[in-house]
Amino acid sequence: MKRIILTTTLMLCAALICFAAITDLTGKWKGAILMADGNEIPLTYTFKVDGEKLTGTVLTPQDQLTIYDGKITSDKDFSFKVDVNGDAVLSTGKFYGDSVIVVANLAGDKLRSKLKRVVDK
């Protein structure tokens, strides 16, 4: 019985530590997405992490999109959806501390963005 309680406690602590590491994702990040036709579109992501839940917005030159169904899946990985022209676009991301990589699956194309944190002055 003690072994089960100890094992459960250790696993819970390890999970909390992993999710605590990605809370630094919260904030504003800028980058650009390279489209299949070669054009770059500037994007500004604003992420908010609350436990395992990820919310926020994506600012594009045309619109502001709301992040929904966002999940923190490990200490570095996350996923979320945004609606683009009425279609749900799934994106996955990886947090590297000083940068973030987001890959959006748009109409079968995987579009990659490298984001850098915006430092307010």
Handedness of CA 36, 64, 43, 97 (dihedral sign): negative
- Nearest residue to 54 via CA among 75, 78, 74, 77: 78
pLDDT of residue 1: 55
pTM value is 0.78
Mean pLDDT, to the nearest integer, of 86-96?
Answer: 95
- What are the boundaries of each domain within the chain? 2-117
Read off the tokens for 73: 């899946």
Listed in sequence order, the DSSP H helices in the chain are 2-21
Q: Rounded to whole angstroms, how far apart are CA atoms 40 and 45?
A: 15
Fold of 2-117: Lipocalin (2.40.128)
Taking the C-alpha atoms of residue 51 and residue 15, their distance in angstroms, rounded to an integer, is 11
71: β partners = 53, 79
* Predicted confidence (pLDDT) per residue in 23-73, tens digit: 589 999 999 998 878 899 999 999 999 999 999 999 999 999 999 999 999
